[in-house]
Amino acid sequence: MEPRARAGKNVGKETFPAKDISNLLYAYGDVPDPLPETVKVMDEILSEFVTGISFEACAHANTAKRQKLKFDDFEFALRRNPEYLGKVRTMVDKRIEISKMRKAFHHDDDAVIKDTRPNAAAAAAAAAGVSEDLLDDFEDDADVMDTVRNAGKHNKKKRKNAPA
């Protein structure tokens, strides 16, 4: 059955939580507690919009002989509205940038802790603008965490070998 025909069965039923829709309306200038009729109409509009975009994206994926949707399918579905397309691209770019920053942060964190060459930690701290005292405290915290992790592993071994 076509997705739009399936969506027709839910007409009159709420798709999104009413509180979310009223918060959305308030964010765009409506009163804090909108009328229930306004919330219902907005729910139908949003449901129809999401269903329509999803249907177009699915049709594009089917034409490309794919069963799974990709971001390109949604780009194709939003190609007629450059404002929506720009907002979606911006959100995806931000998400990619945040994930890269998280990976870089964790990677640099481990490098400072595990690098045991003489003056390597001090050089890394100086490059980052961190005092050596703070770095020493950080290394002490890392040693404590390693001890805690290792203590948990020993307890698990003891539990496995313990008689039932």
pLDDT digits (tens, 9 = 90+) for 121-163: 555 555 555 455 544 555 555 554 555 455 545 444 555 555 5
How far apart CA 145 and CA 140 sit, in angstroms, is 9
Instruction: Quote the tokens at residue 111.
Output: 């490098």
pTM score, two decimals?
0.54
Q: Could you tell me the pLDDT band of residue 3, with boundaries at 50, 70 and 90?
A: low
Residue 123 pLDDT? 57
Domains and CATH numbers, the chain: 1-80 (1.10.20.10), 115-164 (no CATH)
- The Cβ of residue 33 has, within 10 Å, a number of other Cβ atoms equal to 10
Between 76 and 105, the more confident residue is 76
Angle at 42 between CA 37 and CA 44, to 5 degrees: 95
How far apart CA 42 and CA 25 sit, in angstroms, is 9
- Out of 10-14, 42-46, 146-150, least confident range: 146-150
The percent of residues in the chain predicted with pLDDT above 90, rounded, is 43
Residue 71 pLDDT? 87
How far apart CA 161 and CA 163 sit, in angstroms, is 6
**Inter-CA distances, 91 with 8, 71, 158, Å:** 30, 12, 49
| 9: pLDDT strictly greater than 80 | no
